[in-house]
Amino acid sequence: MSRKIAILGATGSIGKSTLDLVECSPERFEVVALTAATNAEALADIARRTNAKLAVIADETRLSDLQELLVGSNCRAMAGEAALAEAAAGEAELVIAAIVGCAGLRPVMAAVEAGKTVALANKEALVTAGALMTDAATARGATLLPVDSEHNAIFQCLAGSRADDISKIILTASGGPFRTASAETLAAATPEQAVAHPNWSMGAKISVDSATLMNKGLELIEAHYLFGLPSARIDILIHPQSVIHSMVEFVDGSVLAQLGSPDMRIPIAYALAWPERMETPAQRLDLAAIARLDFEAPDMTRFPTLRLAREALEAGGAAPIVLNAANEVAVASFLAGAIRFTDIARAVEEALEDSRFAAPRSIAEVLDIDRATRQRVDSTMKANCH
């Protein structure tokens, strides 16, 4: 029996890896809905290849192009925010949430509120609305399956254990392209250097986050909401080879780890086939060739984003929303060449310092805080540039 799936963010890096798995095991899946931001050509191409029923483009100005590209297919074209939510909450049993940034929040919540099984890659949605989302999942009987490799590893290590038996979670981090870089090199880092990750091939935003280590900071907050542990029981450990994807330490002193080659198709496949497993074309680990696994403590001075994310998690309320929004704006300006690499953490720190928001009670309030923070960070940056 095949499962009906929707892929939100089908044209991105996670979207492509998901489609790769779907095309390797076509008997397992029926693609019912696909979404993309602006690339109507790529979306229409995927819709034809997968025989999808619904294709949604976020950018409404691209709707007529999408309609034209889909003439003669069985696929319906739609556009805009309500249509994204429809793709998430419609016919699919399993929703792959692979939009980047807080832009994915409403569609993810639509899937959760419709009681779907959600394979969650879009960490920013959980960072900004963690409590609202996990509460809604419980209330609506939705299941959140982590796709992020670290959280997927932890989910695999936790299988069948009681909450009382867990002592801590150890999130591993490759350290990114600047793990050994000096403070001077960091200040002069270019977007090209920042997106050139040593182990993983990913979208531009998460690649910059991996270079600043904000990615690990966002993952710390993500782990807190997914697994219900406080900040003090979630450690971060640098492991440059990206072979161990994370670990769980239990009260008896046992530590379980999940290993695999750094290929997102492995954690995506786990979420797609859960509670079973499926074949993947991913390369098998050759530990004799890898020969050694290294570990080191993270450097909080060169990578202040780790401290900022932990502070935001411990402050709670709206702090993670401010952290995330300031980071999204700063990363976009860095990629556009408007600010330096080290200005990203500075912008986030400033935004957290002068933010005064109460904890959000609804997704609308989360999005208000997100919008207000973006405007504030944007105008501060423009003022600093002139």
Site string for Mg ion, 305-324 (x = CB under 5 A): --------------------
List, as one string, the DSSP characters of 370-386. HHHHHHHHHHHHHHHH-
The whole-angstrom separation of Cα 22 and Cα 4 is 11
Q: Which is nearer to Mg ion, 35 or 210 (CB)?
A: 210
Pick the binder of ligand NAD from 32, 88, 98, 133 (CB under 6 A): 98
Minimum Å distance from CB 288 to ligand NAD? 26
Sign of the dihedral through C-alpha 147, 153, 157, 163 = negative
| Residue whose beta carbon is closest to ligand NAD | 12
DSSP percent split of the chain into helix, strand, coil, nearest 5: 50, 15, 35
Tell me the torsion sign for CA atoms 200, 203, 209, 212: positive
Listing from the earlier edge strand, what are the strands of the sheet with 255-259? 234-238, 166-173, 244-250, 255-259
Identify the residue among 130, 203, 217, 320 touching ligand NAD (CB under 6 A).
203
Q: Rounded to the nearest whole angstrom, what is the least distance from the CB of residue 166 to Mg ion in the complex? A: 20
Q: Which is nearer to Mg ion, 17 or 149 (CB)?
A: 149
Whose CA is closest to 318, among 265, 281, 359?
359
For strands 255-259 and 244-250, give the pairing. Answer: antiparallel
Q: Does 213 bind ligand NAD (CB under 6 A)?
A: no
Task: Identify the residue among 122, 246, 258, 333 touching ligand NAD (CB under 6 A).
Answer: 122
Going residue by residue from 30 to 69, which x/- string records binding to ligand NAD, judged by CB under 6 A?
A: ------xx--------------------x-----------
DSSP calls for 7-63? EETTTSHHHHHHHHHHHHSTTTEEEEEEEESS-HHHHHHHHHHHT-SEEEES-GGGH
Q: Which of 30, 148, 350, 370 binds Mg ion (CB under 5 A)?
A: 148
Binding ligand NAD (rule: CB under 6 A), the pick from 5, 6, 14, 221 is 14
Task: Check binding of 13 to ligand NAD (CB under 6 A).
Answer: yes
Query: Considering CB distances under 5 to 8 angstroms, the limit depending on partner class, which of ligand NAD, Mg ion, none binds residue 58?
Result: ligand NAD
- CA torsion sign for 166, 296, 244, 306 is positive
Contact residues: Mg ion, CB under 5 A: 148-150
Contact residues: ligand NAD, CB under 6 A: 9-15, 36-37, 58, 98-100, 103, 121-124, 148, 200, 202-203, 205-206, 264
